[in-house]
Amino acid sequence: MFGSLGFTELFFIFVIALLIFGPRKLPELGKTIGSALGQFKRASEDFKRTWEDEVDLEKRRPVEPRPAVNTMARSSEPEILDADPSSARAAADRLSHASMPSVEEVEPPANEPAVPPVA
């Protein structure tokens, strides 16, 4: 823990702490710091254990295959699926353009002049 501090440095720190806090407060201060460090160590070990448990749980969870999403099959018009290919194409064209208004249907904003349609 104190690998980089030698005996001289620790002794110097102890003497300064003794002068600042006094001989009566120093044992109480050491006990408080020791208990705080112990609580921190327990909390960090608990967090590490919880993290590792969650990672193990994620590794053991089976991977569910995602269903393929086919947006054309989810049509509200059943004639696309039941009819012959030529009418299915026409119905698909109607559906793909059903939500898009034509140029003539769109009203220009009130503060801008109307632009004539391009022929």
8-25 pLDDT tens trace: 998 898 899 889 988 888
Q: How far is it, in rounded angstroms, from Cα 102 to Cα 114?
A: 15
What's the whole-model pTM score?
Answer: 0.40
pLDDT at 80: 46
Region of residue 22 (left: phi > 0; alpha: psi -120 to 50; beta: else): left
User: What's 101's DSSP letter?
Assistant: P
Q: How confident is the model at residue 91 (pLDDT cuts 50, 70, 90)?
A: low
**More confident position, 36 or 75:** 36
Domain ranges of the chain: 8-56
pLDDT of residue 38: 96
